[in-house]
Amino acid sequence: MARSSPAFTCTACGAAHGKWAGRCDACGAWNSVHEEAPLSTAPKSLGARGRTIALSDLSAKEAPPPRAPSGMEELDRVLGGGLVPASAILVGGDPGIGKSTLLLQAAASFARAGRKSLYISGEEAAAQIRMRAQRLGLSDAPVILGAETNLRDILTTLDAERPALAVIDSIQTMWLDSVESAPGSVSQVRAAAHELVTFAKRRGVAVILVGHVTKDGQIAGPRVVEHMVDTVLYFEGERGHQFRILRAVKNRFGPADEIGVFEMTGDGLAQVTNPSALFLSDRDRPAPGSVVFAGMEGSRPVLTEIQALVAPSTLGTPRRTVVGVDSGRLSTILAVLEARCGIPFAEQDVFLNVAGGMRIGEPAADLAIAGALLSAREDVAIPPDMVLFGEISLSGALRPASQTENRLKEASKLGFSQATLPSRSKPGPAEGMRIRQMPDLAAFVGEMFGPR
Residues that bind Mg ion (CB under 5 A): 100
95 touches ligand TYD by CB under 6 A: yes
300 touches ligand TYD by CB under 6 A: no
188: CB partners within 8 A, 6+ apart: 174, 175, 176, 179, 181, 182, 220
Contact 235, 27 (CB under 8 A): no
Name the pairing type of β-strands 206-212 and 434-438: unpaired
221 touches ligand TYD by CB under 6 A: no
Among 14, 98, 289, 396, which residue interacts with ligand TYD (rule: CB under 6 A)? 98
Shorter beta-carbon distance to Mg ion: residue 82 or 93? 93
CA dihedral 148, 153, 157, 163 (to 10 degrees): 60
How far apart are the C-alpha atoms of 89 and 303, rounded to whole Å?
Answer: 29
How far apart are the C-alpha atoms of 452 and 438, rounded to whole Å?
Answer: 17
188-203 residues labelled b (16+ CB within 10 A) or e (exposed): bbbbbbebbbebbeeb
97 touches ligand TYD by CB under 6 A: yes
Among 101, 276, 348, 412, which residue interacts with ligand TYD (rule: CB under 6 A)? 101
Shorter beta-carbon distance to ligand TYD: residue 52 or 265? 265
AA letter at 8: F
Shorter beta-carbon distance to Mg ion: residue 103 or 322? 103
366-378 vs 327-341: helix crossing angle, rounded to 10:
60
Output the smallest distance, CB 287 to ligand TYD, in A. 30
Residues paired with residue 309 on neighbouring β-strands, in sequence order: 351
Q: Which does 426 bind (CB under 5 to 8 A by kind): ligand TYD, Mg ion, none?
A: none
Shorter beta-carbon distance to ligand TYD: residue 170 or 231? 170
Nearest to 437 by CA among 446, 429, 428, 427: 427
Site for ligand TYD in 255-294 (CB under 6 A): 264, 266-268
Contact 344, 366 (CB under 8 A): no
Output the smallest distance, CB 176 to ligand TYD, in A. 22
In whole angstroms, how far apart are CA 60 and each of 63, 204, 230?
A: 10, 21, 22
Contact 383, 434 (CB under 8 A): no
Output the smallest distance, CB 121 to Mg ion, in A. 8
Shorter beta-carbon distance to ligand TYD: residue 135 or 426? 135
Q: Which does 98 bind (CB under 5 to 8 A by kind): Mg ion, ligand TYD, none?
A: ligand TYD
Shorter beta-carbon distance to ligand TYD: residue 225 or 382? 225
Output the smallest distance, CB 241 to ligand TYD, in A. 12
How far apart are the C-alpha atoms of 404 and 412, rounded to whole Å?
Answer: 12
Contact 79, 102 (CB under 8 A): no
Among 34, 67, 77, 99, which residue interacts with ligand TYD (rule: CB under 6 A)? 99
Shorter beta-carbon distance to ligand TYD: residue 26 or 213? 213
Shorter beta-carbon distance to ligand TYD: residue 244 or 377? 244
How far apart are the C-alpha atoms of 274 and 301, rounded to whole Å?
Answer: 10
Q: Which does 342 bind (CB under 5 to 8 A by kind): Mg ion, ligand TYD, none?
A: none
Output the smallest distance, CB 93 to ligand TYD, in A. 5
How far apart are the C-alpha atoms of 418 and 412, rounded to whole Å?
Answer: 9
Q: Which does 437 bind (CB under 5 to 8 A by kind): ligand TYD, Mg ion, none?
A: none
Output the smallest distance, CB 420 to Mg ion, in A. 44
Output the smallest distance, CB 104 to ligand TYD, in A. 8
How far apart are the C-alpha atoms of 188 and 172, rounded to whole Å?
Answer: 8
> Residue 271: how many CB atoms within 10 A of its CB?
13
Output the smallest distance, CB 121 to ligand TYD, in A. 9
Contact segment (CB under 6 A) with ligand TYD among 25-33, 89-97, 305-313, 387-395 equals 89-97
Contact segment (CB under 6 A) with ligand TYD among 32-40, 97-105, 249-257, 326-334 equals 97-105
Write the interaction track for ligand TYD spanning residues 421-450; mark x where CB under 6 A is met and - where it is not: ------------------------------
Site for ligand TYD in 122-181 (CB under 6 A): 132, 135-136
Shorter beta-carbon distance to ligand TYD: residue 135 or 202? 135
Size of the site for ligand TYD (CB under 6 A): 15
- Angle formed at CA 126 by CA 122 and CA 130, multiple of 5 degrees: 125
Residue ranges of alpha helices (H) inside 165-206 are 186-203
Shorter beta-carbon distance to Mg ion: residue 123 or 385? 123
Output the smallest distance, CB 132 to Mg ion, in A. 9
How far apart are the C-alpha atoms of 218 and 34, rounded to whole Å?
Answer: 8
In whole angstroms, how far apart are CA 5 and each of 40, 51, 237?
A: 8, 27, 37
DSSP 175: B
Interface positions with ligand TYD (CB under 6 A) = 93, 95-101, 132, 135-136, 264, 266-268
